[in-house]
Amino acid sequence: MVRTPHGAVRGRYEHGIAVFRGIPYAAPPFGSRRFRPPEPPEPWDGVRDAGAFGPTPPKPPYSEAFARYLSDPVIAGDDCLNLNVWTPAPGPAARLPVLVWLHGGALTRGSSAVPVYDGRTFARDGVVCVSVNYRLGVEGFGLFPDAPPNPGLHDQLAALRWVHETITAFGGDPGNVTLAGQSAGAISAGALIAAPQAQGLVRRAVLQSGPPETLERDKVRRMVRRMANRLKIPATAEAFAAVDRDLLLRTQADIGRLSSPVLGGPSFGIVEDGDLVPRDPLRALADGEAARDVGLLMGWTRDEYRLWLVPGGLLDRVDRLGAVALAGAMARCHAGHEVPRRYRALHPDAGTAEIVGQMVTDHLLRIPLHRLADARPGSSYVYEFAWPSLLSGLGACHALELGFVFDTGDVPESAKLAGEGAPQELADAMHAAWVRFAATGDPGWQPWDDTRPVRIFGDGPPHIAYGPRDPEVALWSAVPTVPEPTPASDARPPGAERASAVRRLRRSVGARRR
């Protein structure tokens, strides 16, 4: 039993690790709290049972094609702003390092109940692990004229404050907290460490497959408007709150089915709000304006794009689209004809889909992380996960590394991406690097400097490669990684022809998905 600021909770010992699941860190975000910043939970009397995962936030299921590879449990209930704690030594005497985990899922899916994210291995190795649920999709990242922006990000901040105030009772050190996330979780972590309200709550951060970024407000508004048009309601929080929750989720899934990192399209995301996100977080971190003393561990997978394109046969579809797909990628990345031509020269045996996928991955993910590391030498560490899945076509795809990070290759959900028989020695090495970083700030290799060291986790022992992505990085020297907002105008904007190629690409791929 451990006492929190809102009441006592009772966990379970599992294999020598104390586990507390489903602890509320904020009140249920429904009724009058819908689309609003989180509020503290109501205190409870007695001892609250913390033996099972709490409710998951509302979310649509993955499509059948993606559900083959990704697990996403659904647990019913309104009390969905909850977290879980794994600790080897509950009680204030231990003062162990803490790792706070923010799951991925494009800010529309995922939860802390995914079996791959079992924190027992971190606790086994002396790190208190906390995993967090937060509002998703239109509930957490919709943009309305009558509600504050970014409620899902405010949820994460509330969870961080809970950790700061409470984790000592679970054996953790509030002065040694590492905030870690993958994909949308990494984007969120980047925004939080740059947020003025989060200063002093985080000592280190891990950004895996997601750079600090914000979306253009109009892109998020378009997603909300399209949902509103489909539902035949005003695009207001008040109107959305009156819609049946299941219908809202089905509409969100249908409107968002053509949005992806490769295809672009309207989507949900973090926006600049003049408060929690006063400016683009990548610029704030790269300029040294925010979180100067926060150490960074950053990484990506070699073939990120394959998870976006392999399910449903989209990889072959993009290959057949040829020039249309390349034109769409150029528009997506704000690049001219010279960029794909030079990618062809660097990778003469690559098909169109691989060129498109690597271009988009580099522009949206690797280039910003390189830029961030360049701005913070000596306190940044960079790695690449390069081990290919044992399943055909996936390669070293997005999210494959998570079973290795958590050392949970023994759970069936990890095998959905990795296949059966993934190498335990690779999990030992990658998990140990994250443990070391959370404990000491040094994952075990050379920090970033002018030689651009990247730790490669692939076949064989991990090793350092110097500037392995430098040829691709050089191709983008004249292309902005964070485009400036486009001023409102009635004139047809530059690049509109390439933008129409993106629409043709989305329509072509959408026909295949249907």
Indicate the helix (H) or strand (E) that contains 174: strand 172-182
For this structure, is 289 an active site residue? no
Phi and psi of 120, rounded to 5°? -60, -35
Question: Is residue 335 a contact partner of residue 363, using CB atoms and an 8 Å limit?
Answer: yes
Where would I find the H helices in 16-144?
A: 64-67, 120-124, 137-141
The residue ranges of DSSP E strands in 323-409, in sequence order, are 380-385
Strands (E), 357-499: 380-385, 453-457, 463-466
- Cα(172)–Cα(90) distance, integer angstroms: 8
Whether 266 contacts 211, CB under 8 Å: no
Enter the tokens of residue 118: 């079992």
Across 370-450, the runs of DSSP E, i.e. the strands, are 380-385
Euclidean distance between CA atoms 192 and 443, whole angstroms = 22
Is the separation of the CB atoms in 103 and 185 below 8 Å? yes
The neighbouring-strand residues paired with 464 are 455
For residue 289, with 0-12 CB atoms within 10 Å meaning exposed, 13-18 middle and 19 or more buried, which class applies?
middle
Residue showing tokens 């280190």: 204
Does the annotation mark 398 as catalytic? Answer: yes
> Active site includes 183?
yes
- Burial status of residue 40 (CB atoms within 10 A of its CB: 0-12, 13-18, 19 or more): middle
| Identified catalytic residue from 304, 354, 401, 472 | 304
* Own/partner long-range contacts of 484-488 (Cβ < 8 Å, ≥24 apart): 485/216, 486/216
Q: How many whole angstroms separate alpha carbon 68 and alpha carbon 394?
A: 12
The residue among 429, 413, 431, 410 whose CA lies nearest residue 421 is 410
What type of residue sits at position 320? R
- Beta-bridge mates of residue 296: 205, 380
Closest CA to 374 of 276, 284, 286: 286
Tokens matching residue 333: 């990345």
Choose the catalytic residue: 103, 154, 363, 398. Answer: 398
**Nearest of 393, 205, 395, 378 to residue 299 by alpha carbon:** 205
Backbone angles phi, psi at 224, to 5 degrees: -65, -45
Q: One of 111, 112, 131, 183 is an active-site residue; which one?
A: 183
Contact 109, 60 (CB under 8 A): yes
Which of 374, 443, 38, 395 shows the shortest CA–CA distance to 211? 374
Helix (H, G, I), strand (E, B) or coil at 87: strand
Catalytic residues: 183, 304, 398
